[in-house]
Amino acid sequence: MPSVSFATLLNTRILVPSPLKTHYNVDKYFLAECLRGYIEHIYFDENWYLARYPDVANVVAADATLSARDHFVRFGYFENRMPYPIKIDETWYRANYQDVERAILERRYPSAQAHFDRVGYSEGRLPYPGFELRMMDE
């Protein structure tokens, strides 16, 4: 991508002032394009993704030009969909997220893994210390 000035980013409304005077908001399509190269290199389990997200399987089946990977890169990553099954460290997760520990004790979730799979990942919780999405080369 060619370099452009900050003023150009403002004038094209790619960056817009936020209510906080020290911050700017970024156009979501511009940000998505900036992240595309990173997202494309995240390890991806197509069969698991389609089984986990039947709505995506239906869209992919109806649109011959869209694959499950395409969906993840263009939409799924930004919808907080997991690209592959992520195994958590149950002991660490429960110790670090006291609200999850309470929810398990109150039987709202059968396990920390169930919490992570249902809501924890989309909330940005870590499944274990130092977690990062696996990259294709790993």
% of the chain exceeding 70 in pLDDT: 96
The token pair that represents 52 in the structure block: 């986990």
Would residue 73 count as lying in a domain?
Answer: yes
pTM of this structure? 0.80
Per-residue pLDDT band for 138 (boundaries 50, 70, 90) equals: low
Would residue 81 count as lying in a domain?
Answer: yes
Would residue 74 count as lying in a domain?
Answer: yes
Domain coverage including residue 22: 1-41
What is the structure's pLDDT at 123? 95
More confident call, 83 vs 24:
83
d(CA 12, CA 102): 48
Residues 52 and 36 in one domain: no
Would residue 13 count as lying in a domain?
Answer: yes
d(CA 11, CA 17): 11
Q: What is the mean pLDDT of residues 61-66?
A: 85
Residues 54 and 81 in one domain: yes
Q: What is the mean pLDDT of residues 67-96?
A: 96
Residues 33 and 48 in one domain: no
Residues 79 and 99 in one domain: no
Q: Which residues fall within 8 angstroms of residue 65, CB to CB, at 6 or more apart?
A: none
What is the structure's pLDDT at 136? 80
| Angle ∠(129,53,40) on CA atoms, nearest 5 | 60
Q: What total of structural domains would you count in the chain? A: 3
Residues 47 and 68 in one domain: yes
d(CA 29, CA 8): 16
Would residue 138 count as lying in a domain?
Answer: no
Would residue 61 count as lying in a domain?
Answer: yes
Q: Is the pLDDT at 79 greater than 90, yes or no? A: yes
Would residue 19 count as lying in a domain?
Answer: yes
Q: Is the pLDDT at 6 greater than 90, yes or no? A: no
**Average pLDDT of the residues of the chain:** 91
